[in-house]
């Protein structure tokens, strides 16, 4: 059974710092991996989707890497800003399904001015 | 496009009552997903549809839960009878196809008293 773990559960950093969020999964036979952002009381916003054949994806100050063999993904945020404060979740499809996403519990990020 | 639209945003009901949550996916998207989010269990997939057909409903907790997608632009999630443990935020998401980025609605916060 696929399990997704995110460590740490919460992280507080000063503005301007570079930071890394971690995601691990138990079954390396994944179709892709997605990183989402969730603001309090809101839905999820997709940040990056990495296909199984890719090693990384970049969008602005965000860079996500994928190492299928070790069951790990990282989300790198450069020059963090208070507006980056949110909960970040990673998700992988369950088994051979392309739609049934299994989510981690998320990392709650607080960037202090 | 206005994105995924869910209604109502908030629902407070008494135990034993029927609850119906509604979702309008993004036009042109072929896959629709219902999730439930709680503090204890995080975000869990309940059911997803592809081309209006239920593909995987293994996440539906019990027979009290049912979901329908009568056409490509509308889906409902019904709980009958509702119980206090059903209290959660219910999200609907849609994607162009099963393996693509999923776009989430703002969610329905359900409280069953």
**Lowest-confidence region among A4-8, B86-90, B99-103:** B99-103
Cα–Cα distance, B10 to B27 (Å, whole number)? 24
Closest CA to B29 of B91, B76, B79, B95: B95
Q: Verify cis geometry, omega within 30 degrees of 0, for the bond prior to B81.
A: yes
pLDDT in tens, A25-67: 998 888 899 999 999 888 899 999 999 899 999 999 999 999 9
- In angstroms, the separation between the Cα of residue A45 and the nearest Cα of chain B is 7
Q: Residue A1: what pLDDT?
A: 82
Interatomic CA distance for residues A88 and A98, integer angstroms: 21
Summarised one tens digit per residue, pLDDT across range A62-96 is 999 999 999 999 999 999 999 999 999 999 987 65
- Please give the order of strands across the beta sheet that includes B74-79: B5-7, B19-24, B74-79, B65-71
In degrees, rounded to 5, the angle at the alpha carbon of residue B59 between the alpha carbons of residues B55 and B65 is 95
**C-alpha closest to that of B69 among B95, B46, B49, B99:** B49
For chain A, the first-to-last Cα distance in angstroms comes to 41
Contact residues, chain A, for B31 at CB < 8 Å: 99
B28 CB-contact burial (10 Å; exposed 0-12 / middle 13-18 / buried 19+): exposed
Q: Whole-number mean pLDDT of chain B? A: 94
Which pLDDT band, with edges at 50, 70 and 90, does A98 fall under? low
Alpha helices (H) in chain A, listed in sequence order: none
CA distances A100 to A9, A48, A105, B42, Å, are 23, 17, 16, 15
Of B42, B104, B106, the CB nearest to A105: B42
Whole-number pLDDT of residue B101: 87
Distance of CA B90 to the CA centre of its chain: 6
- Which residues, at least 6 apart from A29, have a Cβ–Cβ distance to it below 8 Å? A95, A96
Return the pLDDT at A58. Answer: 96
Q: pLDDT at position A97, please?
A: 59
A103 touches B at CB < 8 Å? yes
* pLDDT reported for residue A18: 97
């Amino acid at each position: 059974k696929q399990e997704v773990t995110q460590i740490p559960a919460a992280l507080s950093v000063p503005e301007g710092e570079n930071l890394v969020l971690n995601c691990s999964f138990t079954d390396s036979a994944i179709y892709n991996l997605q990183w989402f952002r969730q603001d309090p009381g809101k839905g999820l916003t997709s940040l990056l989707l990495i296909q199984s054949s890719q090693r990384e994806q970049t969008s602005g100050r965000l860079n996500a890497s994928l190492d299928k063999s070790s069951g790990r993904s990282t989300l790198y945020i450069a020059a963090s800003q208070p507006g980056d404060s949110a909960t970040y979740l990673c998700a992988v499809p369950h088994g051979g399904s392309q739609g049934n996403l299994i989510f981690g519990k998320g990392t709650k990020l607080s960037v202090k001015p | 496009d206005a994105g995924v639209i869910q209604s109502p945003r908030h629902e407070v009901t008494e135990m034993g009552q029927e609850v119906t949550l509604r979702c309008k996916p993004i036009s042109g998207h072929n896959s629709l997903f219902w999730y439930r989010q709680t503090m204890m269990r995080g975000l869990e997939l309940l059911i997803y549809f592809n081309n209006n057909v239920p593909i995987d409903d293994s996440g539906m907790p019990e027979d009290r839960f049912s979901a329908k997608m009568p056409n490509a632009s509308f889906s409902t999630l019904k709980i009958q009878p509702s119980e206090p443990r059903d209290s959660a935020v219910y999200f609907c998401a849609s994607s162009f196809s099963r393996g693509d980025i999923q776009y989430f609605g703002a969610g329905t916060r359900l409280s069953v008293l």
